[in-house]
Chain A
Amino acid sequence: MVSPGSQLVKDTIARDGQLATLEEAGAVMLSNSCGPCIGQWQREDIPKGTRNSLVNSFNRNFRGRNDGNPETLSFLASPEMVTIMAVSGKLDFNPNTDTLLNENGDAVKFDPPTGDDLPQSGYEDNKAGYQAPKGGDTKVIVADDSQRLQLLTPFTPWDGKDFDSLPLLIKAKGKCTTDHISPAGPWLKFRGHLDNISDNMLSGATNAFTDEVGKGKNLLTGETGKTFSETARAYKKEGLQFVIVGDENYGEGSSREHAAMSPRLLGCAAVLVKSFARIHETNLKKQGILAMCFKDGSDYEKIQENDRISVKGLTALAPGSEIEIVLNHADGGTESISAVHTLNDEQIRWFKSGSALNLLRSES
């Protein structure tokens, strides 16, 4: 199989003969796209679960990446080596020492490959495949009933008030990466549709009270075992925002923006953790969520399942200021704890505007 990197490369090797040589040898020409290199390969010749070896000149060989079969052993090598290994059919063929039989039955060794590093008659550039922008009159096409795309609506600016007795959505325990907050896999097809993808919110996170993954309690109805997105949507219907509490290095992993956008869409006002992974902390700030750390990490233990959480003194929010948090426990008792934040002046304006993009838009 051959995945040309571009139409330019494909047209050039078609003109100069390499493509015909490859096809003569039995190669299948794929489109000029990522294909099997990123797992976009609908493989049918080897049943899933069958142990087998393949070799390619791509860049990653994680288990299951190429053909979705965890039993496939994927090896990487240079394109020269992959080609000679394809000719020999062997994973362990060494062209420096091994021979193959030619059509006369003679054992022959291959000469090392030689060639031009640039095509002698230049690249064959047909200038195809590019659409130049036409500008401001173009209508952006998104179908109203699309399940994969949804235009975004600006988030609501901060109303200028302290957060008063917001329900705790989750107290996450242990590792809670962006993959736990916004898992990929089957959800990826909704990456352009924020409302649909938000059904995955926190579905990989561990509930500190029950050890359940992705499930917790709706404090309004008392129902347990509800997904966090269900509960968040139920709160939103009642006009209630909520608070997320997390452990150490909350939000580590990728810079996936959905891990901050989904909570914001479903009504998260604040995230309070022992510590943040920095990129996720910044993403939360950009989306207008108040990102805070416990001043004393052991206060994490004081958070109870049925807590309503108040965040005080927000009008005085300033770089380096401390924030007072009041935990209203179900038994009527209250505890006051301190939180810190890393918002600078600009980022405080993001928070007040409802998001960084809101602020940008108001200034443009």
Chain B
Amino acid sequence: MAERTTPLSLVENTYKKTRSNLEIIRKRLGRPLTLSEKTFYGHLIDPENQDLTRGESFLLLQPDRVAMQDATAQMAILQFMLSGRTESAVPATVHCDHLIRAYSGNDADLNRANEENKEVYDFLASASSRYNIGFWEPGAGIIHQIVLENYAFPGGMMIGTDSHTPNAGGLGMAASGVGGADASDVMAGLPWEVKTPEILGVKLTGKLQGWTSPKDVIFKLLEKLTVKGGTNRVVEYFGEGCESISCTGKATITNMGAELGATCSIFPYDSRMAAYLKATERSSLAAAADENRDILCADAEVAAHPADYYDMVIEINLSELEPQISGPHSPDAVNPVSAMKDKARELDWPTELTAAQIGSSTNSS
């Protein structure tokens, strides 16, 4: 069950289950569905009887996979070991990325981490091996990037024991950050329970220009909604601007949906996702997604009348978007680059930079 990448059979099973769930849900609701509804309701354990009141009821869901980072995985696996199961009930992976301290560069830092955290790594590696959980060694990469490269797929649902798990939304996966208890429950075969989210529709028009980057889309949204604006909401992107953004650019945007407090963020399946799946040796998954495009995008009526289906709609014209700088101290303190000179003077920010850092799970694909 624990494989190095998501097998086609798992994806096909998910699409089949989603279709049969949606048949029931469509009868119950009798109206067009958003992409978030298709993905969440497609993973319901009891689609006949589940209470679907947004913002009030709690959904009982069956995620397709669980991912854990090395700090939170410890208690999650220790608890799972008490469940009596011989292996995880769903495909799961552990990723050693949090316990490595940056000091003098790759090799020395890794050696030191291996020494300092030996007992934690030994435990996680041996327990993963025993309970059929994939184990990614220190230095292999950051959990969200490894998931994007190997495990995420359009229309899937996953939980991860890290707040930036929604990164996988760039590849069309409903991916939420949870605590270790939720991960051990799902590995033990219990459902994942989450408040029925409201749905925030973000319409993207136009095309990014010049120095503007996908990251500026989420900065703009943070400025509009603040760090609390996404609580108990799924952020669903739609509109022709989506396809102008690469799959990894989309992942940057959904990664930082966590800064809005959103349950997760999700993009509809498109050619850019297909291209990324092919580039990462997953052409068969792209073909399966092509055949199931109708359950990987919102119904057409939703895009035509978004206000009727989303709890809130925000429009961002990518062509008019300027590069943004966020900070200090809060991701929603956002200024366009053209305002930085005045802001720095007004607030007496030191303008000489002491460090500049790129990469991380937010932007490194």
Query: A residues touching B (Cβ–Cβ < 8 Å)?
Result: 1-9, 28-38, 40-42, 45-46, 51-63, 66-67, 72-86, 89-92, 94-97, 112-113, 117-119, 122-123, 125, 127-143, 146, 148-152, 154, 188, 191-192, 194, 254-258, 260-261, 279, 282-283, 286, 355-358, 360-362, 364
Chain B nearest CB: distance from A114 CB in Å? 10
- Answer yes or no: B45 CB below 8 A from chain A CBs: no
Q: List 18 A-B contacts (CB under 8 A).
A: A1-B357, A7-B140, A31-B100, A33-B97, A54-B357, A83-B358, A94-B340, A96-B211, A117-B272, A130-B4, A131-B137, A140-B130, A151-B78, A154-B82, A192-B120, A255-B178, A356-B185, A361-B83
The 7 closest A-B pairs by CB, nearest first: A129-B140, A6-B141, A255-B179, A5-B364, A5-B145, A192-B74, A78-B213
Indicate if B361 sits at the interface (CB-CB under 8 A): yes
Counted as pairs of residues, one from A and one from B, with CB atoms less than 8 Å apart, the total is 412
A257 touches B364 (CB 8 A): no
Query: Is B16 part of the binding interface, using a Cβ–Cβ cutoff of 8 Å?
Result: no
Find chain B residues with CB under 8 A from A127 CB. 4
Q: Does B239 contact A (CB under 8 A)?
A: no
Q: In the assembled complex, which residues on chain B have CB atoms less than 8 Å from the CB atom of A60?
A: 259, 331
Is B160 in contact with chain A by the CB < 8 A criterion?
Answer: no
A194 to B97, CA, bound (A): 22
Q: Which residues of the other chain, A, contact B356 by a CB distance below 8 angstroms? A: 1, 54-56, 82-83, 85-86
Q: From A258, which residue of chain B is reached at the shortest CB distance?
A: B75
Chain B hits for A57, CB < 8 A? 215, 357-360, 362-363
Considering the chains assembled together, what is the distance between the CA atoms of A135 and B126 in angstroms?
A: 10
**Known: A62-B330, A149-B119. Contact between A92 and B131, CB under 8 A?**
no
Quick one: which of B326-365 are within 8 Å of A by CB?
A: 326-331, 337-338, 340-341, 343-344, 349-365
* A130 in contact with B135 (CB, 8 Å): yes
**Residue in A34, A89, A134, A137 with the greatest tally of chain B CB atoms within 10 Å:** A34
Min CB gap B242→A, angstroms: 14
B275 CB-CB contact with A under 8 Å: yes
Cα A36 to Cα B105 in complex, Å, equals 12
A131/B128 in contact, CB under 8 A = yes
Known: A5-B142, A81-B325. A149 touches B213 (CB 8 A): no
Contacts of B181 in A (CB 8 A): 255, 257, 260, 283, 286
Interface centre among A136, A192, A194 (most CB of B within 10 A): A192
Closest to A286 in B: B181
Tell me if B139 counts as interface (CB < 8 A to partner A).
Answer: yes
Query: What's the Cα separation between A313 and B141 when bound, in Å?
Result: 54
CB distance from B329 to the nearest CB of A (A): 5
> Secondary structure at chain A's binding surface: helix, strand, loop or mixed?
loop
Minimal beta-carbon separation of B352 from chain A (angstroms): 6
Is A360 a contact partner of B84 (Cβ separation < 8 A)? yes
CB-defined contacts of B53 to chain A, threshold 8 Å:
none
Instruction: Of the listed stretches B17-25, B276-284, B297-305, B312-320, name the one at the interface; the rest are far from the partner chain.
Output: B276-284
Find out whether the CB atom of A9 lies under 8 angstroms from the CB atom of B145: yes
Number of interface residues of B (CB under 8 A): 122
User: Known interface pairs A81-B213, A92-B344, A94-B337. Does A118 touch B119 (Cβ–Cβ under 8 Å)?
Assistant: no
What's the Cα separation between A37 and B164 when bound, in Å?
12
Residues of A within 8 A of B74 (CB): 149, 191-192
**Which residues of the other chain, A, contact B275 by a CB distance below 8 angstroms?**
117-118
Chain B residues 105 to 122 lying within 8 A of chain A, measured CB to CB, are 105-106, 109-110, 113, 119-120, 122
Q: Are A7 and B141 in contact (CB under 8 A)?
A: yes
Tell me how far the C-beta of A57 lies from the nearest C-beta in chain B, rounded to whole angstroms.
Answer: 4
Q: A79 near B363 (CB under 8 angstroms)?
A: yes
B249 x A117 contact (CB < 8 A): yes
Known contacts A7-B140, A40-B101, A136-B130: A360-B164 contact under CB 8 Å: no
Quick one: given A54-B353, A81-B211, are A129 and B139 in contact (CB under 8 Å)?
yes
A33 touching B276, Cβ below 8 Å: no
Known: A33-B138, A61-B330. A1 touches B102 (CB 8 A): yes
Given B2, B86, B109, B323, which contacts A30 in the complex, CB threshold below 8 Å?
Answer: B109
Report the nearest A residue to B117, measured CB to CB.
Answer: A148
Q: A91-B353, A123-B279 are in contact. List 12 more A-B contacts (CB 8 A).
A: A8-B141, A36-B102, A45-B354, A56-B355, A58-B360, A61-B330, A74-B327, A81-B213, A89-B353, A132-B2, A192-B123, A360-B188
Q: Which residue of A4, A76, A118, A286 contacts B359 across the interface (Cβ within 8 Å)?
A: A4
Is A73 in contact with B142, judged by CB distance below 8 angstroms? no
Docked complex Cα distance between A311 and B353 (Å): 62
Is A82 touching B358 in the complex (CB atoms < 8 A)? yes
B96: chain A residues at CB < 8 Å are: 33
